[in-house]
Amino acid sequence: MGTGHHAAVSAGVTAGSTVAVVGDGAVGLCAVLAAKRLGATTIIAMSRHESRQNLARRFGATHIVETRGDEGVARVRELTDGIGADCVLECVGTKESMQQALDSARPGGMVGYVGVPNGGPELPVRQMFGSNVGVNGGVAPVRGYMAELLPDVLSGAIEPGLVFDLELPLEDIAEAYAAMDERRAIKTLVRP
């Protein structure tokens, strides 16, 4: 939850924001939840997987975009009256996902990134300059968010634990990772 929250905070999500979330893993889904918690009114979750789409909706997504690349950007723009999202939360970490995030932001928008950069060391600075899109993020200071988030978790106001959709014993750790890698599970809870 703390990492998804960091994406939302880094992008400047506030009440009334229009948000697009790139990535439908546990972090991306928690970013949807964080955007809702911070008061975003339009939340677009980019997801190709039905079970993750359902959880995104439960967490507060108002729209689902199943396409990527130019088609995905066009769909985000269509849902935002041709403008783009105020805040885009990048929760994957690939060159393509960062480009998707930058292209989905409105002029003057902000991308909050928490996906570990796995490709594309260069940002398209000229594009960012021309559209005045900012980028902010990095490693989430999760412990720093505990005092803010934990009361909402304990009260049941938010339920980030719903991302754990598979439970396995420790001796099945290889299967736990395989299930997540093969998209059979969002997040695996491993019991000793």
What would the mean pLDDT of 12-20 be, rounded to a whole number? 99
Q: How far is CA 97 from the centre of its chain?
A: 11
> Please, what is the Cα angle at 104 between 48 and 86, to 5 degrees?
115
pTM: 0.94
Beta strands in 48-171 (DSSP E): 63-65, 85-90, 105-113, 134-137, 164-169
- Walk across the sheet containing 63-65 and list its strands: 63-65, 42-46, 18-22, 85-90, 105-113, 134-137
pLDDT band, very low/low/confident/very high, at 119 (cuts 50, 70, 90): low
Mean pLDDT of 5-25: 98
Mean pLDDT of the chain: 95
Q: Return the domain boundaries, the chain.
A: 2-142, 159-192
Distance CA(86)–CA(89), nearest Å, equals 10
pLDDT of residue 161: 97
pLDDT for 133-188, tens place per residue?
A: 999 999 999 999 999 999 999 999 999 999 999 999 999 999 999 999 999 999 99
178-190 pLDDT, tens digit each: 999 999 999 999 9
Q: What is the pLDDT of residues 73-105, one digit of tens each?
A: 999 999 999 999 999 999 999 989 999 999 999
CATH fold of 2-142 reads Rossmann fold (3.40.50)
First to last CA, the chain: 23
